[in-house]
Structure 1
Amino acid sequence: VNIYAQDKGISVNKAKNIVKVERNPKKMTKTSLGLVNNKPVWEVTYLNNQNNICYDLISFKTGKIIKSIQNI
């Protein structure tokens, strides 16, 4: 079990807003907290304007998009 203090990173709403501003999704489908290389990330999945599934990993600590998979 990994425990992370909320005040040490961005909120789920902030993560969604980052994707909304950067990607302009048609619809967000899921947002969850995950781990990549033992570091916490927000995993955000959404549909783009072409109705393709997309997936972004956002750093919990910095709010930067660290990985993006488009048009799955």
Structure 2
Amino acid sequence: MHTLTVRTRFTFGDRVRFESQLQRCSGIGTVAGIMVSSDGSVDYMIEIARADGYSDFQPGILEGELALLSPAEGM
């Protein structure tokens, strides 16, 4: 059996602000997924809550495009 350990700057449930030039989008959301490619690069899927109670998901956000929100900003 093999074990793979990955250290990421952000983890599931973290409230983050993102601004992605590659994806041409920005916003505030919650880390919902973390993808690690075969070359070791990490990108994130961000869940963005909508006013109607549903969520949108923005995949492909790079670690350098994210900033952790302070508790006051997360509200």
Q: When the two structures are superposed, what TM-score results if normalisation uses the length of structure 2?
A: 0.40
Q: Comparing both structures, which one devotes a greater share of its residues to helix?
A: 1
Larger radius of gyration: 2
